Amino acid sequence: MDDSQTQTKLTSPCISVCQMDEANRLCLGCCRTRREIAAWPGMSAEEQSVLLSELRTRRAAVTGVWRRAARRPTRQVNKDS
């Protein structure tokens, strides 16, 4: 077994907003092309990581936002403790 098969796969960037923008041919939710969506399960963790990096840049170019809001609320730390 080679190294790419032993690596843990990354979580899909899908956010369950699965609609294709016909103008730029990207998913409105994750900014992937149909080809990238279909290829995701067969990609190595390294390939997935490269695509995730590309998606950050692509999303920023499309939306003007460099970072998507956190999915979970952030924990507030009590500084008095």
SS (H, E, C) 16-72: CCCCEECCCCEECCCCCCHHHHHHHHHCCHHHHHHHHHHHHHHHHHHHCCCCCCCCC
Query: Residue 77 domain-assigned?
Result: no
In this predicted structure, what is the pLDDT of residue 1? 42
**Interatomic CA distance for residues 12 and 22, integer angstroms:** 22
Residue-range definition of the domain harbouring residue 46: 15-63
Considering the domain boundaries, does residue 51 fall inside one? yes
Digit-by-digit pLDDT tens for the chain (81 residues) are 455 444 578 999 999 999 999 999 999 999 999 999 999 999 999 999 999 999 999 999 888 887 766 666 666 666 665
Give the span between the Cα atoms of 47 and 68, in whole angstroms. 21
Q: Count the Cβ atoms, other than its own, within 10 Å of residue 59.
A: 19
Assess if residue 9 is contained within a domain. no
Which pTM value belongs to this model? 0.70
The total number of structural domains that make up the chain:
1
In a domain, 2, yes or no: no
Q: What residues form DSSP beta bridges with 26?
A: 21
